[in-house]
Structure 1
Amino acid sequence: MIRTLLTAATVVVTLATTADAACSGPGFTETLPAETRERIDTAAAQTPYGEGRLWQATRGDKTLTIVGTLHLPDPRHEPLLVQIETRMETTDFLLLEADAEEERRMSEAFVTNPEIMTMPGPSLPERMSEEDWQYLSEEMSKRGIAPMMGSRFQPWFLSLMLSVAPCAMQDLIGGAPGLDKEIEALATDANVPTASLESFDTIFTLFDTIPLEEQIDQLLVTIYPEDLAASMHISMLNDYFDGYVSRIWETAVVAIERLPGLTPEEREASLAMVELLLIEQRNRAWIPVIEEAAVEHDHVMIAAGALHLPGEIGVLYLLEQNGWTLENLAR
């Protein structure tokens, strides 16, 4: 859904020149001391369902195939796609974070009702100091976001855009499909019907619960420096394709400690907010959707961002609590 939001935003905002080079160099975890890497590995190992991108869940005569996706194009998707294509032959329904119809609705809403992602009242430069606005403008420009257009975005939405490494922005908003879109294409070819796990405006509603000034404060203090953002992106890709899904989150926990100007309490609050709004609340809302689909269909495939799978608030654990038996098909 995050890639969908950012891609659809290009309908209503003109992007400046984006970064020329793909992310390169060592990953973030490669630069860490051994004891910190061990801390990440230990926390990841203790996470339920922390490894694996392709799972099967069974209950009675019903089957679910659950895919942890990456919303970015990458040739390394191919081996997993081969397995998914095989399982698509027996799938009779596909659930995605946002299928083509939901993306169409979102794009249409952005054009007809752009205020759904823009702030009411004064713009960002009117709400912050000149120094803060200049810093924010520079970070937007690095990611190809025209500052004066970005100045009207909801702070939470701008924060999502700024969470992307400048070197990765072109891939995110470019036309090449990520794994979720590749899976949807397989379903289309196999005449498998699709639906969305949630409405496109779900995230808007969740973030509307945060006061505007608090969103602006969070926006200013949680922008990763360009080199850190690039190395984090590389580590995220490496961990994803190695199947160490929970390590992606645990690495982010360590990375946020590198941000200047945040107290331990502020770091914890920021991570807790992201986990609650972007992962937990959505996961819990998806379970009834999945269960309803399983009543109507014998074999349902679910494709959602990989970070929705692990942990005690993850989709896999929540399904286990509902009596499903899980099997890891591919790390």
Structure 2
Amino acid sequence: MRLFLFLTCLLLPATAHAACEGRDLIEDFTPELQAELDQALINWPFSEGNHWVATKGYTVLHLIGTMHLNDPRMDAIVARLTPTLSQADAFYFEVTQEEMNAWEQELAMDPSQILITSGPTLIDLLPEEAWTTLSSALAERGIPSWMGAKMRPWFLGMTLTMPACLVQDPDANHGLDARLTELAKEQGIPQFSLESIEELMAMFEIYTIEEQAESLARWVNSYENSDDQMATVTNAYFEENHAQSIELGRIMAREYSGMSPEVFAEEWSAFEQHLLIERNNNWMSHLLNIQDQTAVIAVGAAHLGGKHGLLNQLQQAGYTLTRSAF
């Protein structure tokens, strides 16, 4: 998530970092896992394509599936997209950079939105074995355990999904969203947010801190091989297989977590419901209000496909969908 990357770069000091050298784990998939992956992708509406055009009357929406992490391959993508997107009347992002910058000032005054500022820390809230494992993962990322102990569980969990090679990279959040933000600014095109930071924070806090800590403890083993996991889903993204990227992430998370299939299914369902489905539904109210103009909708690629994805919902709303060059 773009906001998470912003928070990570804001809180953690920039230091020398190693290049990410993860390998694609799909090469290690057993026939059984490959069959599961193939089966999962069969009924995905709009499973591929990082650039779709939705049209209805005089309204044209360029939906760009982004990756929030920096990658040099994005330079060529932006160069290809610039002639088309420069003609847009407006750009819509999950949250604009301007709003995030303003929130940074608020965060300096009140860090309680992402940090535990009173009461028990994670050292007290987590089982000893889980905290020991998390402390080791924090150390690999150059994060002092005392700092990790003060992070709210959801924020610590998202931090640990980032490979060590990226956590302290000052350019880590210069992904496609950031590049398109620069394009819109250079062209003088207005930018708008599809959601507020307050809405995002409320989403993370629907569970008590104790419930968050219990969930974090269940995920503790899934943070292994984060370099390889990131390389696997990133490769799928640049192949424009965003549905495969999601399903790969699901399968790898389950295999590494060690949770029972039933517990994992419940955890994954909650993740999809809150971070994908509910947000997509909320964003649709904004998209349907765009009338008689050309707009760019730049959001994480995971939000495009699937039954509850933006593309399927737009088609159901009467838009014509056409895949375009990326």
Q: TM-score normalized by structure 1?
A: 0.91
2-structure distance, mates of 1:14, 1:241: 28
Is contact 1:16-1:144 (8 Å) kept? no
**Mapped partners of 1:195, 1:16: distance in 2:** 29
Partner Cα separation in structure 1 for residue 212 and residue 173 of structure 2: 31
Equivalent residue of 1:201, what SS?
helix
Counterpart amino acid of residue 39 in structure 1: E
Could you say which residue in structure 2 is the equivalent of 1:56? 53
Cα distance in 1 for residues equivalent to 2:250 and 2:174:
28
Q: Secondary structure at the match of 1:103?
A: helix
Give 1:7's aligned residue: 6
Q: For residue 309 of structure 2, what is the aligned residue in structure 1?
A: 314
For normalisation by structure 2, the TM-score amounts to: 0.92
Measured after TM superposition, the shift of residue 241 of structure 1 is 0.4
For each residue in 1:23-81, what CA deviation from the matched residue of structure 2 results, as whole angstroms up to 9, or x when unmatched? 32431111112342232133224211110000100001110000000112212123421
Letter in 2 for 1:126: D
In structure 2, the residue matched to 1:161 is: 159
2:247 is aligned with 1:250: yes
The 5 A counterparts of 1:4-153 are 4-11=3-10, 13-15=11-13, 20-119=17-116, 120-153=118-151
Distance 2:142 2:246 in 1: 26
- Counterparts in 2 of 1:50 and 1:224: CA distance versus 1, 3 Å: farther
Taking a change above 3 Å as real, the CA distance of residues 14 and 254 of structure 1, as seen in their structure-2 partners, is closer
Q: Distance in 2 between matches of 1:103 and 1:16?
A: 19
Q: Answer yes or no: is the 8 Å Cα contact 2:91–2:189 preserved in 1.
A: yes
Show the 5 A alignment for 1:112-261. 112-119=109-116, 120-171=118-169, 173-174=170-171, 177-224=174-221, 227-261=224-258
Contact preservation (8 Å) 2:133, 2:220: no
Letter in 1 for 2:154: W
The secondary structure found in structure 2 opposite 1:72 is: coil
Q: For residues 224 and 6 of structure 1, what CA distance do their matches in structure 2 show? A: 22
Secondary structure of the structure 2 residue equivalent to 1:303: strand
Greater shift in the superposed pair: 23-32 or 185-194: 23-32
Q: Write the deviation string for residues 214-236 of structure 1: whole angstroms up to 9, x where unpaired.
A: 21121122135565322111111
Kept in 2, the 8 Å contact 1:28–1:228? The answer is: no
Q: Does 1:278 align with 2:292?
A: no
Deviation at 1:83, TM superposition (A): 3.2
Is the CA contact (8 Å cut-off) linking 1:15 and 1:144 kept in structure 2?
Answer: no
Shift of 1:254: 1.3
Larger deviation: 114-123 or 241-250? Answer: 114-123
Contact preservation (8 Å) 1:125, 1:133? yes
**Per-residue deviation, residues 230-260 of structure 1 (Å, max 9, x unmatched):** 2111111110001111001111221122135
Question: What is the Cα deviation at residue 314 of structure 1?
Answer: 0.7
Give the aligned length: 325
Contact kept, 8 Å, 2:224 with 2:256, in 1: the verdict is no
Gaps of 5+ in 2: none
Instruction: Provide the rounded CA distance (Å) in 2 between the counterparts of 1:250 and 1:67.
Output: 20
CA contact (8 A) 2:4 2:158 kept: no
Counterpart AA for 1:4: L
Cα separation, 2, equivalents of 1:62 and 1:14: 42
Across the aligned residues of Structure 1 and Structure 2, the Cα RMSD in angstroms comes to: 2.1
Gaps of 5+ in 1: none
Whether the aligned pair in 2 keeps the contact of 1:66 and 1:303 (CA below 8 Å) is yes
